[in-house]
């Protein structure tokens, strides 16, 4: 439904402005009059980013427009604060919509507000925007509404989103520097091999000198890259497309997930990352009043590895049959012993949420340490590799120059 920005006069004569949903401008003006507002200006909102990305989204339907995680966390926390201060839900949503500077956020909150005003629950209104509010988000809000503790649930949800955003930022930050070094080094080597080496090779050929083995190898590599670059580029694109197509199938994804977990050092790090997200999400859901089985169904969606997700689904079936969660996780053989034991302790003591939070804290620290160690090893290793390649190229270029000098003498 379109969103219209309006300016007008309230019944007490003061100027008001905001946004409202309606099928057309006439409907917007009618809604405003029903609210006791005399509109002086009504215009449909359309953001420039939306106009620019619309053709791209038509060609690539998988692209979704999302509110950035930090902004969504802030909106969630502000909504909880307004509700805790006694502000009605419709008014709180209207306040957040009016103060937002991002058109997508403003439009989404306005549409949620209109749905709530028409009688929908907050969770149902948010469920109509799956690109913005995940099933996990909607499920927690629904549990908070059912328990009459929506303010507390929104605070927990904001804290959870902030923790997840911070955790993802740490992971990305740890991998950024090695990725930049690889890209820059590759570009430099490509430039030297494709442009500099052919120029030097031409000079050597004009002298009809017998070139050293290293120089002949370097020139052969350069000739191959410059002569078949188009074929290599097409092959690279085809390989990437083939891998993407394979990963889109169930069998291909299963092969990738299995192979990933078997890689030394990287596999255990992936397991820790998944377990940290699993424990943090499950603890937040249980604290918000969601029952264990629905909570596990929601947690399955944040588990990115198919093998671990299937093991979690099997644990749901086992729990439904009356078995403990710790025993079912241990039976899969995929989850670390620490997670299994802490879950067992939590089930016996009735403090499963607290145990899961401790597990999440522990694994997040371990992941941060592992990534720091990985980058510490990668940086000197990549430096040595680049130094070796540069040394090889320098020797391949300088050796024939020394030979030419000796012949001239």
Q: Where are the domains of the chain?
A: 3-45, 69-161, 163-409
Position 3 scores a pLDDT of 66
Position 383 scores a pLDDT of 79
Position 367 scores a pLDDT of 81
Position 2 scores a pLDDT of 63
Position 259 scores a pLDDT of 86
> In angstroms, what CA-CA distances link 402 with 120, 203, 349?
83, 14, 78
Largest CA distance in the chain: 101
Per-residue pLDDT in tens (0 to 9) along the chain, 409 residues: 566 777 777 777 777 776 676 777 777 777 777 777 777 777 776 443 343 344 434 434 444 557 777 888 888 888 888 888 888 888 888 888 877 777 788 888 888 888 888 888 888 888 888 888 877 778 778 777 776 777 877 887 787 777 777 777 777 777 777 778 778 777 877 777 777 777 777 777 776 667 778 878 888 888 887 788 889 889 999 999 998 888 888 888 888 888 888 888 778 888 888 888 788 878 877 877 778 887 787 777 777 778 888 888 888 877 887 777 888 788 878 888 888 888 888 888 888 888 888 888 888 888 888 877 777 777 788 778 878 887 887 787 777 777 766 655 5
Position 56 scores a pLDDT of 39
Answer yes or no: same fold for 69-161 and 163-409: yes
Position 234 scores a pLDDT of 93
Asked if the 69-161 domain carries CATH number 1.10.1740.10, the reply is no
Fold assignment, 163-409: Receptor-associated Protein (1.20.81)
pTM for the whole thing? 0.60
Position 235 scores a pLDDT of 92
């Amino acid at each position: 439904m379109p969103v219209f920005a309006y300016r007008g006069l309230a019944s007490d004569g003061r100027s008001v402005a905001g946004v409202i949903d309606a099928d057309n401008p006439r409907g917007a003006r009618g809604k405003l009059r029903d609210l006791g507002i005399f509109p002086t200006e009504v215009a449909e909102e359309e953001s420039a980013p939306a106009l620019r990305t619309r053709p791209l989204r038509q060609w690539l339907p998988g692209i979704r427009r999302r509110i950035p995680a930090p902004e969504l966390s802030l909106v969630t926390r502000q909504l909880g604060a307004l509700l805790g201060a006694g502000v009605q839900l419709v008014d709180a949503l209207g306040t957040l919509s009016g103060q937002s500077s991002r058109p997508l956020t403003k439009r989404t909150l306005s549409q949620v507000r209109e749905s709530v005003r028409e009688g929908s629950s907050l969770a149902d209104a948010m469920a109509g925007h799956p690109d913005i509010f995940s099933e996990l988000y909607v499920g927690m809000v629904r549990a908070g509404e059912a328990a009459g503790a929506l303010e507390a649930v929104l605070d927990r949800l904001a804290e959870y989103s902030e923790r997840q955003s911070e955790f993802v930022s740490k992971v990305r930050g740890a991998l950024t520097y090695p990725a930049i070094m690889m890209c820059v080094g590759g570009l430099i080597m490509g430039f030297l091999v494709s442009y500099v080496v052919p120029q030097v090779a031409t000079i050597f050929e004009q002298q009809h000198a017998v070139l050293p083995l290293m120089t002949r190898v370097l020139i052969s590599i350069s000739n191959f890259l410059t002569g078949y670059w188009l074929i290599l580029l097409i092959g690279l694109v085809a390989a990437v497309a083939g891998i993407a197509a394979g990963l889109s199938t169930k069998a291909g994804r299963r092969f990738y997930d299995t192979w990933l977990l078997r890689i030394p050092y990287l596999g255990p790090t992936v397991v820790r990352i998944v377990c940290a997200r699993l424990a943090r999400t499950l603890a937040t859901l249980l604290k918000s009043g969601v029952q264990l089985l629905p909570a596990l169904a929601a947690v399955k969606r944040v588990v990115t590895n198919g093998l671990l997700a299937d093991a979690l689904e099997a644990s749901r079936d086992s729990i439904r049959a009356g078995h403990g969660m710790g025993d079912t996780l241990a039976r899969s053989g995929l989850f670390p012993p620490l997670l299994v034991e802490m879950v067992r302790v939590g089930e016996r003591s009735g403090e499963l949420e607290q145990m899961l939070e401790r597990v999440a804290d522990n694994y997040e620290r371990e992941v941060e340490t592992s990534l720091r160690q990985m980058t510490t090893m990668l940086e000197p290793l990549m430096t040595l590799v680049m130094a070796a390649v540069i040394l090889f190229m320098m020797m391949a270029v300088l050796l024939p120059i020394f030979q030419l000098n000796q012949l001239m003498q």
